[in-house]
């Protein structure tokens, strides 16, 4: 009887120890953010934004971490086209979360997603590269995405909403020469034809070589139809100051709006009136209209949400530590953007996408959180910028001083950024690597670049603290080598472009495909080496043909196990 009583008590003591170590995090009750269509437990995708005056090389940069876990990861490219007068553009419903067993997403989307609805076509559409969304067109107009959520009454899943988010990004890519033009195109089409169906509150970072904008859009509710004569969406955009950086971690970023300031704001003319109509804003309150508080009020701070909403604070703390922003500060009170303490390089942005919150109060390997091998992916109590379930990360770089097809570069890393490698795709490429175009989650495929990255990742997870060192060494060689190769590729392409833009495009296509093929092959080889080296949790040396018996387990974890074992024996 005594032993039976002790075990529950010991269990409680053990639980207390684990809580103290940070292994268990209890969710905040009555989180107002859960009233939105996107609560903190469903948040995915981080967008990082760097203005041209904040970057080390004068480029603008934005990222999209496509954090899903089951979404399609394939990429494609769409050529430019001329269209006859009276031509129409088919509109598809393309669910950003959907995959099909019959094959890769995009060919099937054009049949399964056909709505039968068309809009007038423009005389010329521009070429662009896409993944889940359109990411960069031949004019160096770029897009990066993060879901926001909105108040539930605005959701419109009805057929009256003709345009969803993926389709919106494609139309923006096809029809724009600048970031401002892209924003206006998307906003006008959404208002005219209705936005929603598959999506609700969403954000795009829209950029070109000169500007970075935050574009946010919301549906108009399930009762909207064209017959109402009212706009089928409400949207707003704010410019990131040139010398600033910003971030969108699935939270609305735009606060007070001044549409008279055309240098820094764009938006629906009816945004305030619509908020009043929907009882989302009361002018009698005496408070100025605030976009995010009206349309997507995600309350809470990094601390009050137990780290579930820590990404915004973490990004600002990493880029501008001198501001000493506190993790207790409500996220909605954090600044729209900040001036970084130092200029941000391309490789700095890559490193930011790999951030696991090490050294912060939300450190995923603190105490015994990371298990015996300090694995940052075991602990899911807090939300990090870099998560294990990311499909891919896009990093779009727009550079002035170059012809657009050469100035724009879309860097792609498949899978977890920490174990993956960024590979460049120029805006002017006519084709992309075949390995980028194939594969899905449910069938291993050695022809797929993503599976090569996952092959390395899988073998890294087992002995993370040791294997990650091998991965980082390979990243330095291949990713670092790609970054160093860019100036040479630029020069060769520019020389050809002066004689023949078509030959420059051919060169860029060949150079990037060869670089990607070499990198993917290296990752398959790296996966094989990790499997051999850490087989049976040991150090196997192929050269000496010996297994070194070295203690790999983390000492803190071993002590915790012994402590719990001792309690259980009593």
How do residues 470-487 score in pLDDT, each as one tens digit? 999 999 999 999 999 999
Cα–Cα distance for residue pair 391/450, rounded to 1 Å: 8
Strand partners, 204: 145, 215
Share of the chain above pLDDT 90, in %: 79
Nearest by Cα to 398 from 542, 211, 213: 211
Structure tokens at 389: 């379930």
The predicted structure's pLDDT at residue 238: 98
Residues 487-512 have pLDDT tens digits of 999 999 999 999 999 999 999 999 99
User: Measuring CA to CA, how many Å separate 255 from each of 102, 123, 217, 335, 337?
Assistant: 44, 37, 14, 9, 11
Mean pLDDT of the chain: 90
Query: Comparing 232-236, 319-323, 561-565, which segment has the lowest mean pLDDT?
Result: 561-565
The predicted structure's pLDDT at residue 466: 93
Domain spans, the chain? 32-528
Asked if residue 348 has pLDDT above 80, the reply is yes
Share of the chain above pLDDT 70, in %: 91
- Using the Cα atoms of residue 255, residue 261, residue 262 and residue 268 in order, give the sign of their dihedral: positive
Cα–Cα distance for residue pair 195/157, rounded to 1 Å: 9
Strand blocks (E) in 433-545: 539-541
Residues 50-69 have pLDDT tens digits of 999 999 999 999 999 999 88
Nearest by Cα to 313 from 291, 299, 300, 329: 329
The predicted structure's pLDDT at residue 23: 33
Structure tokens at 225: 């139809």
The predicted structure's pLDDT at residue 315: 98
Cα–Cα distance for residue pair 168/423, rounded to 1 Å: 26
Query: Comparing 105-109, 268-272, 530-534, 564-568, which segment has the lowest mean pLDDT?
Result: 105-109
The predicted structure's pLDDT at residue 563: 86
Cα–Cα distance for residue pair 523/457, rounded to 1 Å: 10
The predicted structure's pLDDT at residue 400: 97
The predicted structure's pLDDT at residue 101: 66
Nearest by Cα to 150 from 196, 188, 184, 192: 196
The predicted structure's pLDDT at residue 350: 98
Residues 166-223 have pLDDT tens digits of 999 999 999 999 999 999 999 999 999 999 999 999 999 999 999 999 999 999 999 9
State the average pLDDT over residues 450-456.
98
State the average pLDDT over residues 81-106.
85
Cα–Cα distance for residue pair 445/122, rounded to 1 Å: 39
């Amino acid at each position: 009887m005594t032993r039976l009583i002790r075990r529950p008590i010991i269990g409680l003591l053990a639980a207390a120890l684990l809580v103290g170590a940070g292994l268990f995090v209890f969710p905040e009750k009555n989180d107002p953010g859960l009233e939105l269509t996107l609560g903190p437990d469903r948040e995915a995708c981080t967008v990082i934004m760097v203005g041209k005056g904040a970057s080390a090389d004068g480029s603008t940069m934005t990222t999209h971490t496509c954090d899903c876990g089951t979404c399609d990861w394939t990429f494609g490219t769409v050529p430019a086209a001329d269209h006859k007068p009276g031509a129409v553009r088919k509109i598809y419903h393309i669910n950003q979360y959907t995959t099909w067993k019959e094959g890769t997403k995009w060919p099937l989307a054009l049949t399964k997603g056909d709505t039968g609805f068309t809009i007038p076509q423009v005389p010329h559409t521009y070429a662009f590269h896409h993944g889940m969304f359109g990411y960069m067109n031949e004019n160096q107009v770029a897009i990066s995405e993060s879901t926001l959520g909105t108040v539930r009454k605005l959701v419109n899943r009805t057929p009256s909403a003709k345009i969803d988010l993926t389709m919106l990004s494609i139309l923006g890519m096809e029809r724009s020469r600048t970031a401002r033009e892209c924003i206006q195109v998307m906003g006008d089409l959404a208002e005219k034809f209705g936005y929603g169906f598959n999506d609700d509150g969403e954000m795009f970072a829209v950029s070109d070589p000169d500007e970075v904008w935050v574009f946010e859009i919301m549906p108009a509710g399930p009762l909207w139809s064209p017959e109402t004569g009212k706009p089928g969406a409400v949207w707003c955009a704010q410019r990131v100051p040139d010398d600033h950086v910003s971030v969108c971690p699935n939270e609305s970023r735009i606060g007070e709006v001044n549409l008279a300031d055309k240098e820094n704001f764009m938006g629906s003319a009816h945004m305030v009136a619509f908020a009043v109509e929907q009882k989302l804003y009361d002018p009698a309150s005496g408070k100025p209209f605030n976009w995010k508080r009206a349309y997507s009020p995600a309350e809470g701070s990094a601390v009050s949400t137990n780290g579930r909403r820590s990404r915004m604070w973490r990004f600002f703390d990493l880029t501008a530590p001198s501001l000493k922003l506190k993790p207790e500060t409500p996220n909605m009170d954090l600044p729209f953007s900040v001036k970084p303490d130092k200029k941000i390089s391309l490789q700095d942005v890559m490193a930011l996408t790999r951030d696991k919150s090490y050294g912060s109060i939300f450190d995923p390997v603190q105490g015994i959180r990371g298990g015996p091998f300090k694995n940052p992916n075991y602990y899911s109590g807090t939300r990090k910028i870099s998560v294990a379930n990311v499909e891919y990360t896009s990093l779009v770089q727009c550079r002035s001083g170059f012809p657009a097809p050469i100035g724009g570069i879309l860097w792609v890393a498949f899978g977890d950024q920490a174990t993956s490698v960024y590979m460049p795709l120029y805006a002017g490429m006519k084709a992309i690597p075949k390995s980028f175009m194939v594969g899905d989650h449910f069938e291993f495929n050695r022809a797929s670049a993503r599976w090569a990255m996952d092959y390395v990742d899988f073998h890294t997870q087992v002995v993370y603290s040791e294997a990650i060192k091998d991965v980082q060494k390979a990243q330095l060689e291949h990713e670092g080598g790609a970054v160093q190769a860019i100036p040479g590729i630029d020069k060769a392409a520019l020389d050809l472009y002066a004689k023949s833009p078509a030959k420059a495009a051919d060169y860029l296509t060949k150079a990037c495909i060869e670089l990607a093929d070499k990198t993917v092959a290296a990752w398959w080889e790296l996966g094989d080496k990790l499997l051999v080296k850490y087989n049976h949790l040991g150090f196997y040396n192929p050269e000496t043909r010996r297994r070194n018996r070295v203690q790999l387990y983390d000492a803190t974890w071993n002590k915790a196990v012994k402590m719990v074992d001792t309690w259980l024996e009593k």
